[in-house]
Structures are given as C-alpha cells and as structure tokens.
Amino acid sequence: MHGRPRRLAKPVDEEAASAKAAKLRDLQVQVLQNHHSRTYTKEAIGLSFKLLEINPEAYTAWNYRKLAFQHNVKELSDPEAIRSAVDDELRVVEVALRQNPKSYGAWYHRKWLLNQKLTPVDSEREFGLLDKLLKVDARNFHGWNYRRFLARFMGVPDEEELKYTMDKIGDNFSNYSAWHNRSILLSNLLIQQSKGFESKQKVFSEEFELVTQALFTDPSDQSGWFYHLWLLAQTSTPDKPQLIASWPCNGAKLSSSFIKEKVDQNTLSSIWCHSLKERTVPIVLYFNEPVKGLNQSSVKLKSYLEFGKDIHWRALSMTDSGYSNCWATYLQIANECSSSQQYSVEVSILCSEDIVSRSGSNYDSPVHFTFTIELISDSQDIDLFDKPVAWSCSESLQSYGNCEPIPFDLLTITSALIEEESNWHFERLSEQIDLFRELPDDNSKFVKLTLARLLLACAAMKSCGRSLIERKRYCDEALGHLSDLIHLDPSHKQYYEDERSSVLMDKLTCDMETFMKHCSVQVQPNSVPLNHVQLRGLSLTCVGFAERLMWVQVLDLSHNSVRSVEGLEALQQLVSLNISNNQISSFTALEPLTKIMFLKVLDLSFNEIGAHPIDTTRYICSSPFSHKIEACEAFEQCQKKNFNVEEYWDALLFFKSLKLKQLDIEGNAIASKENFRTLVMELIPSLKWFDGECVN
C-alpha cells in the first residue's frame, strides 16, 4: 500500500509464531512428498491448499497443483465436473490473493488456468475480482498486469480499457500503473488508427491537457511527471528513424598519404586517413535513434574498388540489445591499385523494412552519399610516432597555415529532414514551456527537470541558420535549470552533470563559428595534418553529440570531469586521445575506446583508475562477469607469466584490444602497483612511448 506511514510490527506471540512455523514446515514436507510421489488424491490436494492459504509464495505447491489438476482433469468427461474443477482452482487463487494480493505464484496460476481454456471464462467474475483488488490498492501492478492479460484474452477493446484507466486516474491520479497502462493503450490505438485515434496530434494535445491538470494540482506527485515524460518523448522525436551523420561525409576525399609538398591552400581537400595504410576504410552511420537491421541489402555500396570479405555492419554500442545509434563497417580494399588513382565509393541507405527503430518504425528516408579514396602506394613511410605526441597546453589553438579542418557543413546529412518537423510539435512544446514557467515550483525538481527537457527538445528542433541563436538561448535556459538541480537534488547530481555536459557540447558544436574556436589542423610533430579538436577545461562529465565529431583525429578532453567516454566509439578516425586529468575511475569505463580500431595515442594520466575499491561500471561493460566474453586466452597467457589476473582482468581486457603506440597512465593509483607496467608492456607489444619514455 502506498503513502501510508509504516507501523511497527505488533509484538508477536512467540509461541503462536513458532507453532505456525512448525505447522507450515509440516505442511511443506507433506506437500513436497506428495509432489515427489505424484499423489494427486483429494486429501493430498487439500494439503497443498492449506499450505497456500497460509503461504501463497510456496511456488512448488502451485506447480504441484498444476500437475494435479492436469492429471485429474484428464479423467473427467462431464463438462459440469470440469467446470467445478476449474472453479475450485480459481477459488484457491482467490484465497491466496486475500492473503497476499501481490503473490506472483497465485496470479500466474490464474493465468495458467485461463490459458487451459477448459471452460468459458466468467468475465464478470474476473473483472469483479480485479475491481475489488484495485479498489483496495489501485497501484497493485500485479492487478494491472492481470488486467492487461485479461483484456487481451477476452478481446476487450482498448478504448474500454482506456476509459478504465481514466476512471482510476479520476479516483486518484497518483497511480503509476494507470498512467502506464494509458500510455500502452494509446500507443496501440494510434498504431491501429482506431476510430477517434486517427490524429496523433489531437490525442496528444488532449493528453497534455489532462496530465497538466494533475501536475498543477500536485506538482510533488511523481506519477504525472512520468507520464508527461512519455508524452514529451512522443512529441519531440520524429516518428521514423533518420540518418543524421556519416563518416566519410558526402564528397570527402580520403588519402592514404600526405606529401608535404602538396600543401597548397587551393588543392588541399583530401583528408589523410591513417587506416588506409592498412587498406581499411571505416564507414560510420549515425542515426537519430537506436536502430537495428543494417546489412548488405539495406545499405548498398557501389565502387570500382573490390572489398574483401562480406561487408558486415557492427553496432557500436555498449549494450547488446542489437539496437544502436551508431553503426560501422570496415571496408578491406582487396585489389591492387595504381598510384594516385581516385576511386569513388557510393553509399545508399534505402528505404528498408530491415532497418527498424525500437518502436518498430521502418527507415524510410533514403540517403545517398559519395566519397573518394586516393591510394598512394609509393609514399614514404611516415612514422607518426617517431617522437611522442605532445599535447599543446596553450589556451588558444594556433592555426597552421590555412589548413582548414574539414568543411563543416558537409557533416550533417539530414538537416533538411529535421527542418521538416511540424509546427505542431514545436507549438505544443512552447506551450508547455510557458505553462511550467508559470508554475510556482517551490524548488521542485520535477518542474525544473521537465522545463530543462522541454527546452532541450525545442532546441533540438532549431538546427540551422538563424534559429541557431534560438537554440543557444534554449540551451542557456536549460543549463540554468540543470545547475539549479545539481544543488537542489544532490542525490542525482551525476545525472544532471551529464545532461549539462551534453548541452554544453551542443552549444559548442552546433554552429561553425563557435566550433571553429576549438578546432584546428595539427601538423606537428610530423608533417601529417590531423584534424584536432580541443575541449579542455570545460567541466564536461561525458561526451555528447558525438555525431558532430566523427571527423576528429586528435581529441583533447583533458582537465574536465569526464567519468564516461561513451559516445567516442563513433569517432573511428580518432588517432590520439587525451583524457588526462579527468575522473575516469576504471578500465571498464573506457570500454568504448576499444571499438576505435586505429587509436594510437592515449593519455590517461591523472585519472582515478584504481583509486576506487568498487567499480560501478564493471557489470555494464563486456566482461567475463556479464558473460559477454569467452574466457580469454589472454587470461591464461598472463596466468602463465604470473600476472595477477584476478586483480588486473579489466586492464587486461582493455589493453589487449588496443594497438597503442603511446600511452600515459601516470597519476593513477593503479600505475604505481607492482607489476603493472610490465603487464602493460606485455599486453601492448606495439607500445613505443610509455609515460614519456621510449620502451621499444
């Protein structure tokens, strides 16, 4: 029951309690015995009833009853007798529910019985039972679950169930289950285009109106805010998944070599692509929402180049749900090609039933883009890592000659599509913003958080040209709310900080002019110009808007408060990364980096790796613990070499999957541990510079 102060348990009569326990034990033993000996007599079944009456959680007793029921009902032929057998079982469930209305076993037993379909279901009895239970506790989610089951089972129209949720919300709107069921029913009705639910806009306008009544009445009640969040998500995301960025971008020219003499402002248009040396070209596609189903038929490639193996698309995501915003494939150039020849590659993402979002919508905005590859086989072999890469600490970035980084506007693909957003969405959101600005919030976190979310949803709709100024204004207001929230609700501080980081990143990268202040083309120390982005000292805690950074080759995130590098996996061009002086607390938190194939330089110095006894990310990342990785050969090898695998398993997994040339790790607790340096050098044979020393 909810919203009632907890009362101290009455002092129980110990004698009675122990007598009850003895009786229970006795019953349990007998029921188990009957279960094993398959005794399905009336007396034996009666015993199981006695047990369940006292303890409905005795799951084995339920299973025993199922077996007994099946056994006994087989011998019945008279429909009346079957009916009474079913009736008896139903009554047992009711008795058990009286004892504990939240007994999983009892509810399941009832569903199982109905699913046997032996007798017609007495819907009056079933719904009557539910009404009674939901009257006692309107938020009993077991009851709601059963109601959904029953409605489907009996074919009750969604409209009627929707009305029922409204009744319950009318009784007391502090009811998560009712709001939740409403969201499910409405989604169904909208998908089915049922009568009266043809217009998503009309339905959602009414729902906004309804939930706002609840929110204004009692802003401290959470349930309405959750429903509002759902509505917001329905309003702010496009119905269909869209491609929002790609690497290489349309018209990009990739080159395997860079000859210094060719530095010429006018002709400099090709981008040095490190991976081409290994005759590999990564292609990265970035969608606005997680999708699945990218394969050779949904994404077509056309080129004179021959690509080895089958083209396999990988989800660059830390979860194994199969859905991801970001997908990559690595083209292996198979044919020998003559020097200085340019090959174009055409990528087409077609309307396809294969590509689907989590909500089940298909991808239906076809995109084509072309890039060219210049293979220069004869070029002198540049050793990029002749000297250790030094990170420029100067505040402003020097521009090297007129080397402009990649033309920015090429990066975004579907800005035209996003522009298409209907006015309705924007109006609805603006209306909500105006409303909640009015609501005296008493420092309520829900009001501020919702306002921030609404503002950001509005900002996301302003994506080009002059509206970028508005976007920044929305971002600024949202940042204000998020900063308030960090103080107001310290227990969720990290969430707010991550949100704030993301907004900050948005502000810095949404328009060319601002972004350019952080970009340069780095030519030192070797003559290869690399696209360099510097985001140091901004109190970032995480990475947002990675789709705008996919062309970056050198990234400086030092002197922030970065805790998670999730998102960086989209940066397949990344060669050097500096995340020194941050708050990375474990190797498992760095797992996204293992997906960057050609990362060569990594500065991890002055983080908190090894300083925390509890690794909070360890169960999220792929590890032997989450059963995602087979027992590694590496573990065995290390064991043979007397390294402490139990202690260093995460470091082991991390370094094993990187081919680093340069690593800095000083200033972390783990770096001073015995054997650690030897382990690292063992794990990364390619390593040349380790904490500034040449090791190879």
d(CA 473, CA 507): 9
Give yes or no for residue 165 binding another protein (CB under 8 A).
Answer: no
Pick one of 218, 383, 420, 427: the residue that binds another protein (CB under 8 A): 218
CB nearer another protein, residue 143 or residue 219: 219
What are the b/e assignments for 656-686, b being 16+ CB within 10 Å?
bbbebbbbbbebbebbeeeebbebbebbbee
Dihedrals phi, psi of 154, to nearest 5 degrees = -90, -5
Q: Which residues contact 585 (CB under 8 A, 6 or more apart)?
A: 563, 607, 608, 609, 611, 612, 615, 616, 617
Assigned token pair, 73: 């009902």
Assigned token pair, 681: 């050098």
Pick one of 146, 173, 247, 363: the residue that binds another protein (CB under 8 A): 173
Segment contacting another protein by CB under 8 A, of 21-29, 167-175, 340-348, 514-522: 167-175
CB nearer another protein, residue 12 or residue 166: 166
Within residues 628-687, the interface with another protein by CB under 8 A covers none
Give first-to-last CA distance, the chain, whole Å. 67
Cβ pair 372, 343 in contact under 8 A? yes
Give yes or no for residue 438 binding another protein (CB under 8 A).
Answer: yes
Give yes or no for residue 216 binding another protein (CB under 8 A).
Answer: yes
Cβ pair 289, 280 in contact under 8 A? no
Give yes or no for residue 184 binding another protein (CB under 8 A).
Answer: no
CB nearer another protein, residue 33 or residue 213: 213
Query: Which residue type occupies 590?
Result: L
d(CA 589, CA 583): 10
**Residue count, binding to another protein (CB under 8 A):** 16
Assigned token pair, 590: 């760095």
Instruction: Give me the least distance between CB of 236 and another protein, in Å please.
Output: 22
Instruction: Give me the least distance between CB of 486 and another protein, in Å please.
Output: 24
Report the relative pairing of strands 367-375 and 253-255 from DSSP bridges: parallel
Pick one of 360, 440, 613, 685: the residue that binds another protein (CB under 8 A): 440
Dihedrals phi, psi of 343, to nearest 5 degrees = -120, 135
Segment contacting another protein by CB under 8 A, of 213-221, 324-332, 339-347, 519-527: 213-221
Give yes or no for residue 219 binding another protein (CB under 8 A).
Answer: yes
Give the position of tokens 């998020």. 482
Give yes or no for residue 567 binding another protein (CB under 8 A).
Answer: no
d(CA 234, CA 229): 9
Pick one of 213, 335, 398, 514: the residue that binds another protein (CB under 8 A): 213
Dihedrals phi, psi of 300, to nearest 5 degrees = -100, 140
Query: Three-state DSSP class for 631?
Result: coil
CB nearer another protein, residue 133 or residue 651: 133
Instruction: Give me the least distance between CB of 6 and another protein, in Å please.
Output: 12
Give yes or no for residue 170 binding another protein (CB under 8 A).
Answer: yes
Give yes or no for residue 231 binding another protein (CB under 8 A).
Answer: no
Give yes or no for residue 513 binding another protein (CB under 8 A).
Answer: no
Pick one of 435, 464, 488, 538: the residue that binds another protein (CB under 8 A): 435
Instruction: Give me the least distance between CB of 129 and another protein, in Å please.
Output: 18
Segment contacting another protein by CB under 8 A, of 84-92, 212-220, 299-307, 479-487: 212-220
| Positions that interact with another protein (CB under 8 A) | 5, 170-173, 212-214, 216-219, 435, 438-440
